[in-house]
Structure 1
Amino acid sequence: MDITAKARFIRMSPRKVRLAVDVIRGLGVAEAETRLSVMKQLSAEPVKKLLKSAVANAEHNFKLSSEALYVKTITADGGPVAKRWTPKAFGRATPIRHRTTHISLTLSEREVKEEVADKKTTKKKTSSAKKSAAKQVSTAAVSKDEGSKQ
């Protein structure tokens, strides 16, 4: 089940918000929240607020536990740009662009990893069994060759 949350018209540049967004993509909710609280960037604050909102949506609306959730997708896209002008020398003016950001976040449930662990151990056992069988065959062939030489 996917849970989505959006924060729109955030008064920060999307380029700066993407620094915080890229850090938490694919992480569990607890780990993502910890990393965002440690970050120096001011853009981490609205991302953390959005993450908490998405977790609250999951717990209240879908009765999901926050331990099982992870950040499936998160994007920071550009919103509308407010344009202002600043005076410069010789009667010129240069534009100032006040950029805004739309952040969209999707949380999803992690699947149980116990089955994956079982598959890995069986693969290791079968590959080691094949290797030991190959060694036995090769040692038997060597012993036959030594017997025929004598």
Structure 2
Amino acid sequence: MGQKKNPRRVAENAALAKGRLIRTSPQKLNLVAQLIRGKKVEKALADLTFSRKRAAREVKKVLMSAVANAENNHDLDIDSLVVDQAYVGRNIVMKRWSPRGRGRVGRILKPFSEITIVVKEVEEAA
């Protein structure tokens, strides 16, 4: 009698994780996301661990969440996971004001962004 099961948003051999309200601009976050696209998860985690960019910590959390989703929810082998997609989107923008000379005001925009990471299980080629 309950609700019907929602269809999967990704393929059977993939898992997804999202990070929302990340306090950095989408442009800066996308620079970090480019580092891991197409890489094996083990290599991507190592790259994020030793990256000097502040956004790398947030991307690493989301990547680890995607790996945990793959292992626990979809029974995928974590040793054969590859970062299939990593894309960034805009979120809210906080607007703040700073007083300037002659009664004017300076606008300060504090953007937030979100990241989606899809990991996919691939078969090892012999």
Asked if TM exceeds 0.5, the reply is yes
- Residue 33 of structure 1 aligns to a residue whose secondary structure is helix
Higher strand share: 2
The equivalent residue for 2:101 is: 89
Partner of 1:20: 32
Cα-to-partner distance string for 1:116-138 (whole Å, 9 max, x where unaligned): xxxxxxxxxxxxxxxxxxxxxxx
Partner of 2:8: none
Q: Out of 95, 99, 123, which is 1:111 matched to?
A: 123
> Structure 2: which 5+ residue stretches go unaligned?
1-12
Q: After TM superposition, give the deviation of residue 77 of structure 1 in Å.
A: 1.0
Q: List aligned pairs for 1:1-150, cutoff 5 A.
A: 1-114=13-126
What is the rounded CA distance, in whole Å, between the counterparts of 1:51 and 1:112 in structure 2? Answer: 21
> For 2:94 and 2:49, how far apart are their aligned partners in 1?
29
TM-score under structure 1 normalisation?
0.74
Which runs of 5 or more residues in structure 1 are unaligned? Answer: 115-150
Q: Provide the alpha-carbon RMSD of the alignment.
A: 0.9
- Between the aligned partners of 1:64 and 1:106, the Cα distance in structure 2 is 13
* SS across alignment from 1:20: helix
TM-superposed CA distance for 1:57, in Å, is: 0.7
Alignment TM-score, normalising by the size of structure 2: 0.87
CA deviation string 1:1-60 (max 9, x = no partner): 121110111111111111110000000000000000010000000000000001011111
Q: Percent identity?
A: 37
Higher RCO (CA 8 Å, separation ≥ 6 residues): 2
In our comparison, the structure showing a higher alpha carbon Rg is 1
Aligned length: 114
Please give the alpha-carbon distance, in whole angstroms, between the structure 1 residues aligned to 2:100 and 2:78.
Answer: 53
Runs (4+) of structure 1 exceeding 4 A deviation are none
* Structure with greater proportional helix content: 1
